[in-house]
Amino acid sequence: MAPTTRQEDSGSPSPPTLKTPGRGARRVRRAFQVVVAAVLLVLFLFPFYWVVITSLNHTNQVLQFPPSFLPHWVFQNYARAWSEAPWLRYFLNTIFIALVTTLLVLVTSILAGFAFGSLRFPGKNLIFAGFLSIMMVPYVVLIIPDYIVLKDLHWLNTYWAQIFPFAGSVFGIFLLRQFFLSLPLELWEAAQIDGASRFRFLRQVALPSARPALVTIGIYTFLGTWNSFLWPFIMTSSPSVQPIEVGLSTFLGTNGTDWTGLSAAVVFTTLPVMVLFLLLQREFMAGASAATGGVKG
Amino acid sequence: MERTVAGSVAQGARPPLKQVRRLSDGVRALLFLAPAVAFLLVFVYIPAGVSLGLGFFHYKLTGIDTTFAGLYNFKAALTYPIFWQAFRNTLYYAVLMIPTTLVGAVLIALLLYRDRRIFSMIRTVVLLPYITPVIATSIGWLWMFDPQYGILNAVLTALHLPVSQWLLSPQMAMPSVAFYSLWHGIGFDVVIVLSALAGVPRSVLEAAAIDGATGWQKFWKVTFPLLSPVIFFLAIVTTLATLQAFSQVYALSSGTGGPEFATMTILLLMYLTAFQYFHFSYAAAMAIILVVMILILTLVQGALSRRWVFYQ
């Protein structure tokens, strides 16, 4: 029998032993489950549906009561919203920042993860503990001093201000360290016999087998960078370097009551992330389990 | 000892070579660690240290004359009524968010993980808000919350229920933000709980059933203890996230923390103080107070966890 859930208590009066619930009880439970699933489906999807519907209606159609629940295929909203802000620029900025950040995170994490996982050096555990301690630093304390650092480097309002502060990832280092720790010694011995250096071993043997971990780190970094707001919002001021979320916030500030245009902008700025997620869903879920793998104890 | 790559030198057979090896391994490690260390040093370690000191000075972005201020900035914050309002709001938001997120995630996960088809579909659906950007989805909710033309009040009107001013009402503004955040963030917690549920061994539950345990007993005596480390992890993560929530508070209150400072959080106040009014040291003091708050809440949860978290 499947493990317990709460509806066994709320569903029907349950017999003292639950080994073989009657067919009726099972059907009630099944119906209950379908209802709950349907409610959740509506709750979580309706806001998306509503924004899409709004973006495809005339303004007077969305401001009437009762509002229109069906699209009228009005595409002017998209044309208007697109023409009112440098969206292409925002898109290209976001893609560039997200790609370079992801690449840098992968490189720094691979190297540091390999050092912690496969090399022996004095003070290794102490240094690793020092790395892990960063996870305890709430990022709010970094905003002001990092702003000062970036200002002194004359990097405010550049791409670098949005890339370099995130180029070292403790999460990435941790994940790859765990992976490299689990590599069997025989692999390295065999590589040594073939005359390979540590670096070549890393490149040709360790890395290809670390692919799942690399994909996880890549997805999380890319999506995280794409969705970030506070940091670029503070560190940049001109649209020529700003990412899409900051652009959207500016657009909200200037077109605050143009709900159809705003909805259109929300749709075309969000669609790429959604498509990416739906394509990489399986890897994303695997990453979520990996991230908590150490917690289960 | 387990045979791993790291252990190879320790087990190395020839002593003279070992010396050379270890040295070069150390140098090699230095080279491998250098890039990550460089970035973390410049943007995390040093700034975190600077941040601690910044609150004790009168730092000006333009001038060099940074004078020592002692506890001046902390006193100023702690005697500023708006700061206390922000402090209460931040706690209120955490109280609204943390229990609902955890209970909600466990309930959704428990209700859905039996049926494989429903399971995978719902998992995608609850995660969809989580992966979409906060500003974008906040705009959608801003529109739904609109008191005059929003869909929420339209539905309430159609059902002959009382309408609300939502984000424009001082009483409802923070709960509305929390409602949005729950919708946006709970998917992550659901996925984590689901993956933990998959690790609960069936045999244990079956044994409990044979012993005559009811569903309620099986949950509290078997499933919950096995889930508890993951729930504790989520409690800490949610605490950190809610106390540092910014984007949704900013977008849903149009950057003001209103109405009547009802959604002013410490982080939003810190942002406005530093980047609208350029009182950097004052804002840094606020940040330190927020960090102390985070630290205390985390430690309290850690202490409480000994009573309910079960490690295998």
User: Does residue A64 lie within any of the structural domains?
Assistant: yes
Q: Looking at the structure, tell me whether residues A154 and A202 fall in a common domain.
A: yes
The residue among A229, A239, A274 whose CA lies nearest residue A51 is A274
Q: Looking at the structure, tell me whether residues A213 and A159 fall in a common domain.
A: yes
Q: Which domain holds residue A47?
A: 30-74
Query: In this predicted model, what pLDDT tens digit does every residue of A51-84 receive, in sequence order?
Result: 999 999 998 888 887 888 888 898 999 999 999 9
Q: Give the mean pLDDT of A118-124.
A: 87
Q: Looking at the structure, tell me whether residues B116 and B184 fall in a common domain.
A: yes
- Tell me which amino acid residue B105 is: A
Domains held by chain B: number: 2
Higher pLDDT, B57 or A126: A126
246-285 of A, contacting B, C-beta below 8 A: 248-249, 252-253, 256, 259, 262-263, 265-266, 269-270, 273-274, 277-278, 281, 284-285
Q: Looking at the structure, tell me whether residues B61 and B132 fall in a common domain.
A: no
Q: Which domain holds residue B186?
A: 74-308
User: Does residue A22 lie within any of the structural domains?
Assistant: no
Closest partner CB to B7 (pick from A127, A185, A186): A185
pTM of the model: 0.87
- B132 shares contact with chain A (CB less than 8 Å): yes
Per-residue pLDDT at A84: 94
User: Does residue B3 lie within any of the structural domains?
Assistant: no
Q: Looking at the structure, tell me whether residues B200 and B128 fall in a common domain.
A: yes
User: Does residue A207 lie within any of the structural domains?
Assistant: yes
Q: Looking at the structure, tell me whether residues B133 and B245 fall in a common domain.
A: yes
Q: Looking at the structure, tell me whether residues B143 and B261 fall in a common domain.
A: yes
Q: Looking at the structure, tell me whether residues A44 and A182 fall in a common domain.
A: no
Handedness of CA A104, A109, A112, A115 (dihedral sign): negative
Handedness of CA A51, A52, A53, A56 (dihedral sign): positive
Domain containing A239 — which CATH number?
Answer: 1.10.3720.10
Kindly list the distances between the CA atom of residue A152 and the CA atoms of A146, B61, B63, B110, B282, in Å, as whole numbers in the listed order.
10, 10, 13, 52, 20
**Cα-only R_g, chain B:** 25
Q: Looking at the structure, tell me whether residues A170 and A278 fall in a common domain.
A: yes
Q: Looking at the structure, tell me whether residues A40 and A94 fall in a common domain.
A: no
Which band of pLDDT confidence, cut at 50, 70 and 90, is reported for residue A17? Answer: very low
Q: Looking at the structure, tell me whether residues A91 and A70 fall in a common domain.
A: no
Q: Looking at the structure, tell me whether residues A121 and A178 fall in a common domain.
A: yes
Cβ <8 Å between A297 and B290: no
Determine which of A2-11, A64-73, A155-164 has the lowest per-residue pLDDT on average.
A2-11
Nearest CA in chain A to B126: A44
Quote ipTM for the complex: 0.87
User: Does residue A3 lie within any of the structural domains?
Assistant: no
Q: Looking at the structure, tell me whether residues A70 and A149 fall in a common domain.
A: no
Kindly list the distances between the CA atom of residue B282 and the CA atoms of A232, A265, B275, in Å, as whole numbers in the listed order.
22, 37, 11
- B294 shares contact with chain A (CB less than 8 Å): yes
Per-residue pLDDT at B130: 93
Q: Looking at the structure, tell me whether residues B174 and B257 fall in a common domain.
A: yes
Q: Looking at the structure, tell me whether residues A110 and A191 fall in a common domain.
A: yes
Determine which of A89-98, A238-247, B173-182, B288-297 has the lowest per-residue pLDDT on average.
B288-297
Higher pLDDT, B237 or A32: B237
Distance from CA of A237 to the nearest CA of B (A): 12
Q: Looking at the structure, tell me whether residues A278 and A141 fall in a common domain.
A: yes
CB pairs under 8 A between A and B: 351
Q: Looking at the structure, tell me whether residues B38 and B86 fall in a common domain.
A: no
Q: Looking at the structure, tell me whether residues A55 and A99 fall in a common domain.
A: no
Per-residue pLDDT at B1: 41
Q: Looking at the structure, tell me whether residues B250 and B291 fall in a common domain.
A: yes
Query: In this predicted model, what pLDDT tens digit does every residue of A189-219 receive, in sequence order?
Result: 888 888 888 888 888 888 888 888 899 899 9
Q: Which token pair is A77? A: 């909203």
What residues of chain B lie within 8 A of the CB of A135, using their CB?
A: none
Domains held by chain A: number: 2
Do A214 and A222 touch, CB atoms closer than 8 A?
no
Q: Looking at the structure, tell me whether residues B148 and B269 fall in a common domain.
A: yes
Higher pLDDT, B171 or A183: B171
Q: Output the CA angle B62-A242-B266, nearest 5 degrees.
A: 60
Q: Looking at the structure, tell me whether residues B169 and B187 fall in a common domain.
A: yes
Per-residue pLDDT of chain B (312 residues; tens, 9 = 90+): 444 555 444 444 444 444 445 457 788 889 999 999 999 999 999 998 888 888 888 887 765 557 787 888 899 999 999 999 999 999 999 999 999 999 999 999 988 777 677 778 888 899 999 999 999 999 999 999 999 999 999 999 999 999 999 999 999 999 999 999 999 999 999 989 988 888 888 888 888 888 888 888 888 988 999 999 999 999 999 999 999 999 999 999 998 998 999 999 999 999 999 999 988 889 999 999 999 999 999 999 999 998 889 886
Q: Give the mean pLDDT of A83-89.
A: 96
Per-residue pLDDT at A206: 87
Out of B27, B48, B68, pick the residue that ends a domain: B68
Q: Looking at the structure, tell me whether residues B145 and B261 fall in a common domain.
A: yes
